[in-house]
């Protein structure tokens, strides 16, 4: 499924729709260059889950946990990860195979440990369509 957005609000709204529809144990992976809108999308998902506290990229930790919404929300940003051992140290499988919702920014950096059963989201720019245009490809989910 491909969805095109023309501004951050539309990307947020798409995330929100996905957050509202999320079911326990789902894992979402987010791929795309720096500044493409992964965090904007994530903020939408959090809002769709009923989380009202601000969601930003976890800079000093690999995972940020939000318990306030309809389901626990585990927001990973693995951009700065050195090796997979760091994921093992935080006990990633409790998150990946638990009942909450996992969303992983820069998931391609930990490809080897990603669960097979996941929803993959790729966000791309196309400057020929304007600065704020984004093409969002979602695999593994029916909306």
Concatenating the DSSP letter of every residue in 85-117 gives HHHHHTTHHHHHTSSSEEEEETGGGGGGGS-SS
Asked whether the beta carbons of 74 and 103 are under 8 A apart, the reply is: yes
The option from ligand ADP, Mg ion, none interacting with 34 (CB < 5 to 8 A, set by class) reads ligand ADP
Asked if 57 is part of the footprint of Mg ion (rule: CB under 5 A), the reply reads: yes
Selected binder of ligand ADP within 32, 44, 69, 100 (CB under 6 A): 32
The option from Mg ion, ligand ADP, none interacting with 122 (CB < 5 to 8 A, set by class) reads none
Is the CB of 38 or the CB of 118 nearer to ligand ADP? 38
One symbol per residue from 96 to 115: x for binding ligand ADP (CB under 6 A), - otherwise; what is it? --------------------
- The DSSP element (H or E) to which 13 belongs, if any, is helix 8-21
- CA dist 28 and 23 (Å) reads 11
The option from Mg ion, ligand ADP, none interacting with 86 (CB < 5 to 8 A, set by class) reads none
Q: Beta 73-77 vs 134-139: how paired, if at all?
A: unpaired
Residues near Mg ion (CB under 5 A) = 38-39, 57
């Amino acid at each position: 499924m491909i969805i095109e957005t023309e501004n951050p609000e539309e990307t947020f709204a798409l995330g929100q729709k996905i957050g509202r529809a999320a079911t326990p144990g789902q894992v979402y992976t987010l791929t795309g260059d720096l500044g493409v809108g992964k965090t904007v999308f994530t903020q939408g998902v959090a809002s769709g889950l009923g989380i009202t506290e601000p969601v930003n990229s976890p800079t000093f930790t690999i995972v940020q946990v939000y318990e306030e919404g309809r389901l626990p929300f585990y927001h990973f940003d693995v951009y700065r990860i050195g090796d997979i051992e760091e994921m093992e140290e935080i006990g990633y499988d409790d998150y990946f195979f638990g009942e909450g919702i996992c969303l992983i920014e820069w998931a391609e950096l930990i490809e080897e440990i990603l669960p097979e059963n996941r929803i993959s989201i790729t966000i791309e720019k196309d400057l020929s369509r304007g600065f704020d245009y984004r093409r969002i490809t979602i695999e593994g989910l029916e909306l």
